Chain A
């Protein structure tokens, strides 16, 4: 029914319009006393108001009507002459002598217009709502992307829901901390009884959502966040409209969220709610993985540190008794305690040799644990690598000679100086040459050579390519080439692994700890250089190392 209100003091007009609109389609009422006007409009909210232009204070009345019901159509009833001022704020005019048809059609046209306007404004409002919600969703998901803190993620989820859905209360169970936490975000204060009821409801929800798991209501921790503590919620809260969503990804459950609102939720609300609850699951999973990674890392670091400390302590504890053994052997061997027979000499030197070996192992272990712990000090000074080659040749040529080996050097002339720790590189080169001596048989030759190379020109076995892939510029290269037993290709990489001894028995026969090459590798890494080898079984091996030219 279309509600029409007629405001006039003129009885003949009233009866004329009553005649026109008093029929079935319209709900016609009229008042002649404008003091009753506001109350009448408030009660009946008419679609159309006819206002007799003869009424005094027309403008004020018009203004009042517009204040109360903005969308009501006001049609002025005028004489033939229309006041120009009135034109500004009237929807339409009818004259006193206008035929009935025209009056009805004026009303209809205006009604249609009113309907169209109302539709437009309502779809406009829907559009604005959707936009706002989309914005809230976008905001929320960008906030999700910005953190790996699980508590924050849950908080962002609740805030996002508040923004998009303006809830009265959310009851969120978070399984993200060490123990389950019930987070109550409420518009108004909650009594203890109500909190108990919400806890109970949470346990029920938990049992139905996560079958087979249990939640202890007595130990359940509750966090309460109240927006307006001055007011209070009552149990009518449970009559509100509500929605529920699990927060989980695959097998991992992070909890659930239940949301209450005084007015009912629309299907769009439901979609939005589920979307946010789903969206938070992925970053929660990432955060969980991240946390696990951090924990594992910390454990590994601790283990590594303990290992280094262990090696250091053990080495120290080994050194002291070893010193006493060595000292005793020295004294016995020196003949200060009486003459040493030939067979005694043999066993004394056997004991000495093994003390030396043990002490070498301890030194290697200490070096390695020091380098790995980053506690090795380096003394980089400018020098020519050929000096180091010279030292090593002098130190080892006797040993080589005693084995019937030929130790020669091929040093590049005019090799530029560069910065390195001479003592450490001497250690590396000594190790390489000692190895060569160990694994080469009588009559063969061992060659130490040096040259200047560019990183891009280095020819290197495919398996060692990764070792030098980040290097560029000029390097000093040192090569120790032997004609010994060689290393099988499949063992090449392992040669630089800790404790890897290729062909165990042989290596044991030849002595050594299997730590020389790993130490060499670490020492060269500290020089920003590299070490690798090339070998052919039964033909011989070539060990190369390079240090940058600086």
Chain B
């Protein structure tokens, strides 16, 4: 089974994503802050990461850059979840290395479809 890492400080969102992805037969790992997210990503080397942008300490943008610059992890697809705040827009304006952007509020089915597209 393919492994998906979900990183978001909003537990409810993690919960719902985990539910639909597990229903679609993926194994989910969850992290609720940037530090844990980065640690888990290196530990389990998932097949795909769903990453929130705005998080305390290490934001999603930093995590994405750290992973994409590392040869060991650079092939892991990253779906970046954004709430389109001005701050985020600024970050996204720069090179984040993310493969896909998902705007809040998103359609769960769309997320599942996108994940499947990368993990076929």
Binding site for B on A (CB under 8 A): 308-309, 312-313, 315-316, 319-328, 330-331, 334, 336, 355, 359, 366, 370, 373, 375
Q: What CA separation (Å) do A506 and B23 show in the bound complex?
A: 43
Q: Judging by beta carbons under 8 Å apart, are B89 and A326 in contact?
A: no
Q: Which of A308, A313, A331 contacts B19 (CB 8 A)?
A: A331
Q: Judging by beta carbons under 8 Å apart, are A359 and B105 in contact?
A: yes
Q: Which of B10, B17, B84 contacts A366 (CB 8 A)?
A: B84
Of A308, A320, A328, A336, chain B has the most CB atoms within 10 Å of the CB of: A320
Q: Judging by beta carbons under 8 Å apart, are A331 and B84 in contact?
A: no
Q: What CA separation (Å) do A370 and B108 show in the bound complex?
A: 27
Q: Which of B13, B20, B108 contacts A320 (CB 8 A)?
A: B13
Q: Which of A312, A323, A375 contacts B104 (CB 8 A)?
A: A323
With A312-B86, A320-B10, A375-B89 already in contact, 9 other A-B pairs whose C-beta atoms are closer than 8 Å: A315-B84, A316-B84, A319-B84, A320-B83, A322-B104, A323-B106, A324-B10, A327-B108, A334-B20
Q: Judging by beta carbons under 8 Å apart, are A375 and B10 in contact?
A: no
B16 neighbours in A (Cβ, 8 Å): 324, 327-328, 330-331
Of A324, A331, A334, chain B has the most CB atoms within 10 Å of the CB of: A324
A336 in contact with B105 given A316-B85, A320-B10, A320-B83 (CB within 8 Å):
no
Q: How far is the CB of B95 from chain A (nearest CB, A)?
A: 16
Closest A-B pairs by Cβ, 9 of them: A327-B16, A316-B85, A324-B12, A323-B105, A319-B83, A319-B104, A323-B104, A326-B105, A312-B86
Q: How far is the CB of B34 from chain A (nearest CB, A)?
A: 16
Answer yes or no: B43 CB below 8 A from chain A CBs: no
Q: Which residue of A lies closest to B54 (CB)?
A: A316
B19 neighbours in A (Cβ, 8 Å): 331, 336
Q: Judging by beta carbons under 8 Å apart, are B108 and A322 in contact?
A: no
Answer yes or no: B107 CB below 8 A from chain A CBs: yes
Q: What CA separation (Å) do A321 and B12 show in the bound complex?
A: 8
A366 neighbours in B (Cβ, 8 Å): 84
Of B12, B84, B105, chain A has the most CB atoms within 10 Å of the CB of: B105
Answer yes or no: B109 CB below 8 A from chain A CBs: yes
Q: Judging by beta carbons under 8 Å apart, are B86 and A375 in contact?
A: yes
Q: Judging by beta carbons under 8 Å apart, are A322 and B84 in contact?
A: no
Q: What CA separation (Å) do A141 and B81 show in the bound complex?
A: 65
A334 neighbours in B (Cβ, 8 Å): 20, 108-109
Q: Judging by beta carbons under 8 Å apart, are A319 and B105 in contact?
A: yes
Of B23, B104, B109, chain A has the most CB atoms within 10 Å of the CB of: B104
Q: Which residue of B lies closest to A311 (CB)?
A: B86
B108 neighbours in A (Cβ, 8 Å): 327, 330-331, 334
Q: Which residue of B lies closest to A358 (CB)?
A: B105
A309 in contact with B86 given A320-B10, A323-B106, A336-B19 (CB within 8 Å):
yes
Q: What CA separation (Å) do A328 and B86 show in the bound complex?
A: 27
A323 neighbours in B (Cβ, 8 Å): 10, 13, 104-106
Q: Which residue of B lies closest to A376 (CB)?
A: B89
From 46 to 93 in chain B, residues with beta carbon under 8 angstroms from any chain A beta carbon are 54, 83-86, 88-89
Q: Judging by beta carbons under 8 Å apart, are B85 and A315 in contact?
A: yes
Q: Which residue of A lies closest to B108 (CB)?
A: A330
A370 neighbours in B (Cβ, 8 Å): 86
Q: What CA separation (Å) do A58 and B12 show in the bound complex?
A: 122
Q: Which residue of A lies closest to B20 (CB)?
A: A331
Q: Judging by beta carbons under 8 Å apart, are B89 and A313 in contact?
A: no
Q: What CA separation (Å) do A321 and B10 show in the bound complex?
A: 9
A359 neighbours in B (Cβ, 8 Å): 105
Q: Which residue of B lies closest to A312 (CB)?
A: B86
Q: Judging by beta carbons under 8 Å apart, are B109 and A327 in contact?
A: no
Instruction: Jot down 19 A-B pairs with beta carbons below 8 A, ordered by A.
Output: A308-B86, A309-B86, A315-B84, A316-B83, A321-B12, A323-B10, A323-B104, A323-B105, A325-B105, A327-B12, A327-B16, A327-B105, A328-B12, A330-B108, A334-B108, A336-B19, A355-B105, A373-B86, A375-B86
Of B23, B89, B108, chain A has the most CB atoms within 10 Å of the CB of: B108
B84 neighbours in A (Cβ, 8 Å): 315-316, 319, 366
Q: How far is the CB of B103 from chain A (nearest CB, A)?
A: 8
Encoded as 1 (CB less than 8 Å from any A CB) or 0, chain B from 101 to 115 comes to 000111111000000
Q: How far is the CB of A247 from chain B (nearest CB, A)?
A: 49
Of B12, B86, B106, chain A has the most CB atoms within 10 Å of the CB of: B86
Q: How far is the CB of A56 from chain B (nearest CB, A)?
A: 103
A312 in contact with B85 given A324-B16, A331-B16 (CB within 8 Å):
yes
Q: What CA separation (Å) do A308 and B85 show in the bound complex?
A: 11
Q: Which residue of A lies closest to B17 (CB)?
A: A327
Q: Judging by beta carbons under 8 Å apart, are A322 and B86 in contact?
A: no
Encoded as 1 (CB less than 8 Å from any A CB) or 0, chain B from 25 to 57 comes to 000000000000000000000000000001000
Q: Judging by beta carbons under 8 Å apart, are B109 and A330 in contact?
A: yes
A331 neighbours in B (Cβ, 8 Å): 16, 19-20, 108
Q: Judging by beta carbons under 8 Å apart, are A320 and B107 in contact?
A: no
Q: How far is the CB of B117 from chain A (nearest CB, A)?
A: 19
Q: Which residue of B lies closest to A322 (CB)?
A: B105
Q: What CA separation (Å) do A444 and B88 show in the bound complex?
A: 45
Q: What CA separation (Å) do A328 and B16 show in the bound complex?
A: 7
Q: Judging by beta carbons under 8 Å apart, are B23 and A320 in contact?
A: no
Encoded as 1 (CB less than 8 Å from any A CB) or 0, chain B from 1 to 29 comes to 00000000010110011011001000000
Q: How far is the CB of A454 from chain B (nearest CB, A)?
A: 38
Of A312, A315, A359, chain B has the most CB atoms within 10 Å of the CB of: A312
B23 neighbours in A (Cβ, 8 Å): 336
A325 neighbours in B (Cβ, 8 Å): 105
Q: What CA separation (Å) do A179 and B108 show in the bound complex?
A: 64
Q: Which residue of B lies closest to A309 (CB)?
A: B86
